[in-house]
Amino acid sequence: MNERKIRVLVAKPGLDGHDRGAKVVARALRDAGMEVIYTGLRQTPEMIAEAALQEDVDVVGLSILSGAHMALVPRILELLKANGLENVKVFIGGIIPDEDLPRLKEMGVSGIYGPGTSTEEIIKQVRESVKN
């Protein structure tokens, strides 16, 4: 019998242009033994929730640099829930102002990481989040 691998969807919602950070995180998670489904740029919330359903992931990682997080994140969480995926953990990486952190956490986001966060820290928290 195979062990259960942690499956992570890495997506970049919104219209801003580059996905370097998302790719670095995707590779780090792979090097930590996880299976990362990489979906690329300009994903709509609908596309992300659909991909999470089809791929049966444990975790969704969102890279958001556009400042549109307060519009995108609630919508994505809502759609995940509508798909029956309320147990999927959502992490955000990007530039998120401090004043938005409490509200995002309240909505159910499991972790929020600014540009300087080490990948070790992200890996550790992703692992912990899927344990319980």
Positions touching another protein (CB under 8 A) are 1-5, 7, 26-27, 29-40, 43-44, 46-47, 50-51, 53-56, 83-85
Euclidean distance between CA atoms 26 and 34, whole angstroms: 9
**In the complex with another protein, which residue's Cβ is closer, 27 or 75?**
27
- Rounded least distance, CB 57 to another protein, Å: 9
Euclidean distance between CA atoms 38 and 127, whole angstroms: 18
- Rounded least distance, CB 29 to another protein, Å: 7
Euclidean distance between CA atoms 100 and 61, whole angstroms: 18
**In the complex with another protein, which residue's Cβ is closer, 54 or 118?**
54
Euclidean distance between CA atoms 17 and 63, whole angstroms: 11
